[in-house]
Amino acid sequence: MDELKVFTGNAHPALAKAVVEYLGIPLGGSQVFQFSNENIFVKILDNVRNRDTFIVQPFSTPVNQSILELLIMIDALKRASAGRITAVIPYYAYGRTDKKDQPRVPITARLLADLLTVAGANRVLTVDLHAAQIQGFFNIPVDELSAINLLTGYIKKKELANLVVVATDIGISKRARDFAAKLNAPLAIIEKRRVGNEDKTETLNIIGEVKGRIALTVDDEIDTAGSLVNSVKTLLEAGATEVYACCTHPILSGPAIKRIEASAVREVIVTDTVPVPPEKRTGKIIVLPVAPLLGEAIHRIHTGLSVGAMFQQE
């Protein structure tokens, strides 16, 4: 492990520190800050020549600053003759902009992939992309980890009887089906329509039986929580006895926390792929650590072991 170096920008230093604690190595030394003119300065303080280097940097708020920090750090490592550079991006922003679903709109998820490659990244490590097809935007290896075992493990310990797993829209039904299989529960799907480019959705219908059951909604991220609150209300009106929610990426922007606290959802189980500050850690928000998942994947990539073996069925 002497040849392994892990660095971090300013997006989520606490996660990077937890990762290196798992690996039993010190965090790589670096300076990453903004000048008064908002230009970003990066300096790598450790020798990285021919070393296996990893940068832990989710694209969390401020999103565009986090992206540019990562790009500049990759460039700095490349120019310092790092042996291999892996961008560890627990949360890949702009994942919803993965196709042209309207005239004259960009495919920003592809643009980010190009930027990372041109900057000098040799591979990418991420967690629960919004769309698995985003892996195909890269011409370098991409390892997509899943938080499914982490989230379902917590739910199993609660021993919820008569559980039904609910996909919050048709697009995430495959992931929800995997959750249902892990929990040995049936699957239901909420069919909904997004209204224009606004953060608003219109719930249309529930496919499947939820009456008399405890519902567990599954999504990849929760942003303003408007969709979650509507889903909870719809499920309770359809006869669900209780509603729990889980997601990998707790963006929780704007009115999200107030909406969750005012809703009837029992718990919202999330991970810390992005920072969850104390003011957002309310009684209903349960945060599970992803550092062991990322740390194990980094160890396997560094030593040439299989990453996919981490998720093989026991």
**Residue 126, marked binder:** no
**Residue 272, marked binder:** no
**Residue 10, marked binder:** no
Q: Give the three-state DSSP class for 218.
A: strand
Catalytic: which of 156, 192, 258, 280?
192
**Residue 184, marked binder:** no
**Residue 219, marked binder:** yes
Q: Is 156 a catalytic residue?
A: no
| Residue whose structure tokens are 């991006």 | 89
**Residue 249, marked binder:** no
CB atoms within 10 A of CB 110: 17
CB atoms within 10 A of CB 119: 18
The dihedrals phi and psi of 121, each to the nearest 5 degrees, come to: -65, 135
DSSP3 helix / strand / coil % (the chain, rounded to 5) = 35, 25, 40
3-class secondary structure per residue, 95-147: CCCCCCCCCCCCCHHHHHHHHHHHHCCCEEEEECCCCHHHHHHCCCCEEEECC
Q: Give the three-state DSSP class for 273.
A: coil
**Residue 230, marked binder:** no
Six-digit token pair at 154? 């917590």
**Residue 227, marked binder:** yes
How far is it, in rounded angstroms, from Cα 307 to Cα 314?
A: 15
**Residue 66, marked binder:** no
**Residue 225, marked binder:** yes
**Residue 271, marked binder:** no
**Residue 98, marked binder:** no
Catalytic residue positions?
192
Query: Which residues are annotated binding-site positions for D-ribose 5-phosphate?
Result: 194, 219, 223-227
Query: Which residues are annotated binding-site positions for ATP?
Result: 37-39
Query: Which residues are annotated binding-site positions for Mg(2+)?
Result: 130, 169
Query: Which residues are annotated binding-site positions?
Result: 37-39, 130, 169, 194, 219, 223-227
